[in-house]
Amino acid sequence: MTPLDIVYMIVYFIILYCSTLWFLVFFTNYRSSSRKNVAVKLPSVSIIVPAFNEEKNIRDCIESLLNLDYPRNLLKIYVVNDGSTDNTKKICEKYAKRGLIRLINQKNQGKAAAMNNALKYVKTDYVVSMDADSVAEREFLRKMVRYANKNIGIITPAPKVMKKDNWIEKIQYVEYLFSIFLRKAFSFFDSQYVAPGPGSMYKTEILKKLGGFDTNSIVEDMEIAFRFFDKGYKLDNCENAYVYTKTPKNFKDLLKQRLRWYKGYFQTVAQYSHMRLNKKFGNLGIFLLPMNYVWVILMIFITSSFLFNVVSTVINSAETIALVNNDIFPLVTRMELPSVMNLSVYSVFFAIFSALSIVTIIVSVKVSGEKIKIKDCLSYLLFILLYPIMITMFWTVGLKKHLFGDAIKW
C-alpha cells in the first residue's frame, strides 16, 4: 500500500464516520423531538422585513405575512424601506395607509441596519426576520412558537427554494432540502451556527440586550447566531416551518452569494476564535468548528483528485485511440467486465458513498415534507454530480478571499 493509498483510506474513513454520525444523531432524536401536539400560550411576535428595490417581491411577501394563521392582536409587521429607488416604497405605503403594516423609511444602510432600526420599536416577546424575496406558509408562525421557551434564544425555520426552473435552481432545490435535514441534526447536536435570513425567530429581550445585528458583518445572520451561542443562549430548529425563498438563477449570481457566505463564515470564525476547541461551547467548539476546516481540506483533495483522474483518463484514452488510427472496435471487444472478487477498496468505498448520497437525498426529501418524484430525478442527479465540485470551489475561493482580504459586500 502506497502513502497515497493511506491518505485515501484516511479521507474515506473521515467522510464515512461523519456521515454515519449525522444520521445517528438525527434518527436517535427525531421521533422524540416532535412538537406537533404541544400546547403553548401564543407569544406576541413582530416580523421585520428589510427591503431594498424589491418591487417585484415585496407584495407577495407582505400578503403571505398578512395571511398567517396567527392572532392579529399578537402580530406586528414592520417593513423597512432601505433607500429603495424603485416602487418598493409606493407599494408598501398602500399597506401602511390601511394600518396593515408599519413602514419605516431610511437611507440605504444595509440589512443589519434596517433590522436594528425597526428593532427599536419592537415591544413583542419575539421578533422574526423575513427577507423581502421570501414568503411564509400559512402555519409558519404557529409551528415556530411551539419551540419557544426560556432556554431558547433563536428558533430557526426550514427555508425552501421557491422556483426550480433551470439547472442552477434545481441543484439549490435539493441543497435546501439537505440543509433542512442537516440543520435539524445540528440542532440535536447543539451546534447550529446560522440563523437563516428568511424566517428566523429571536427572543426580543435577548436580541436587544446583545445589541442587535452587526452592521459590519457581511453575514449578519451567522454572526448573530455565534453571538447568542457565545453568550450562553441556545438555538433550536423547527424543521417543518417552511419559508419559500427566491434563489440565484444563474451561476454568476450564485457565485457572488456563496463567496459572501463562505468568506463571511471564515471572518466570523476568526472573530469568535476563542470558541474553537473550547469545551465550554460543547459540540460546536470541540467538534464542528474544527471539523469544518478538515472538511474544506477533504473537499479540495477529493475534488482535485477526481478532476485529475478524469482529465488523465480522457487524455490516455485519446492517445490510445490515436495509436490505433481511431479504430476503437478491437479495444472494446477485448475489454473484460470486472469481477466482484477483483473490486478494489476504492470501488467499494465509491459504492458506499454512492449509496450514502442516495440515502441522504431520500432522507432529506422525507424530512422536508416533500415526496420523491420522477420529475425531480434530474435535480437529484445534478446535486450528486455537480454540487460537490461547486461547493468545493465556493469554499476554496471564499477562503482565499478571506486570507488575502479581498473585499466582498452585501
* Per-residue model confidence as pLDDT tens digits over 373-408: 999 999 999 999 899 889 999 999 988 888 887 666
Residue 260 maps to a domain: yes
The reported pLDDT for the residue numbered 272 is: 97
Residue with grid cell 398602500, as numbered in its chain: 94
Which grid cell is 300?
479540495
Question: For the packed helices 345-367 and 167-188, what is the interaxial angle rounded to 10 degrees?
Answer: 90
Q: What is the model's pTM?
A: 0.89
Q: What is the dihedral of CA 17, 19, 25, 28, to 10 degrees?
A: -100
C-alpha span between 96 and 114 (Å, rounded): 17
C-alpha span between 46 and 115 (Å, rounded): 11
More confident residue, 301 or 330: 301
Is residue 340's pLDDT more than 80?
no
More confident residue, 331 or 221: 221
Residue 173 maps to a domain: yes
Closest CA to 306 of 388, 203, 405, 394: 388
Environment class of residue 236 by beta-carbon count within 10 Å: exposed (0-12), middle (13-18) or buried (19+)?
Answer: buried
More confident residue, 29 or 329: 29
**Domain span at 181:** 1-34+147-410
The reported pLDDT for the residue numbered 149 is: 87
The reported pLDDT for the residue numbered 342 is: 43
C-alpha span between 63 and 49 (Å, rounded): 12
44 Ramachandran zone, left/alpha/beta (phi>0; psi -120 to 50): beta
The reported pLDDT for the residue numbered 341 is: 40
SS3 155: strand
The reported pLDDT for the residue numbered 339 is: 43
Residue 129 maps to a domain: no
Residue 245 maps to a domain: yes
- Which range is least confidently modeled, 118-122, 181-185, 320-324, 369-373? 320-324
The DSSP result for 77-90, as a single string, is EEEEEES-SSSHHH
What's the Cα-to-Cα distance from 279 to each of 266, 273, 291, rounded to whole Å? 20, 13, 14
Cα angle, residue 63 at apex, residues 61 and 65 outer, rounded to 5°: 75
> What band does 192 get if pLDDT is binned at 50, 70 and 90?
very high
Residue 83 maps to a domain: no
Question: For the packed helices 3-30 and 167-188, what is the interaxial angle rounded to 10 degrees?
Answer: 70
Sign of CA dihedral 173, 379, 8, 16: positive
Residue 52 maps to a domain: no
The reported pLDDT for the residue numbered 338 is: 45
Judge contact between 177 and 368, C-beta under 8 A: yes
C-alpha span between 285 and 274 (Å, rounded): 9
Amino acid at 63: E
How many domains would you assign to the chain? 1
The reported pLDDT for the residue numbered 316 is: 77
Which grid cell is 361?
437525498
* Per-residue model confidence as pLDDT tens digits over 132-167: 999 999 999 999 999 998 889 999 999 999 999 999
Amino acid at 197: G
β partners of residue 234: 152
E strand or H helix at 390, and its extent? helix 377-404
Residue with grid cell 477562503, as numbered in its chain: 399
Residue 158 maps to a domain: yes
Percent of the chain whose pLDDT exceeds 70: 90
The reported pLDDT for the residue numbered 363 is: 95
As a whole number, the mean pLDDT across the chain is 89
Residue 98 maps to a domain: no
Q: What are phi and psi of 45, to 5 degrees?
A: -135, 135
Listed in sequence order, the DSSP H helices in 324-367 are 329-333, 345-367
* Per-residue model confidence as pLDDT tens digits over 267-299: 999 999 999 999 999 999 999 999 999 988 888
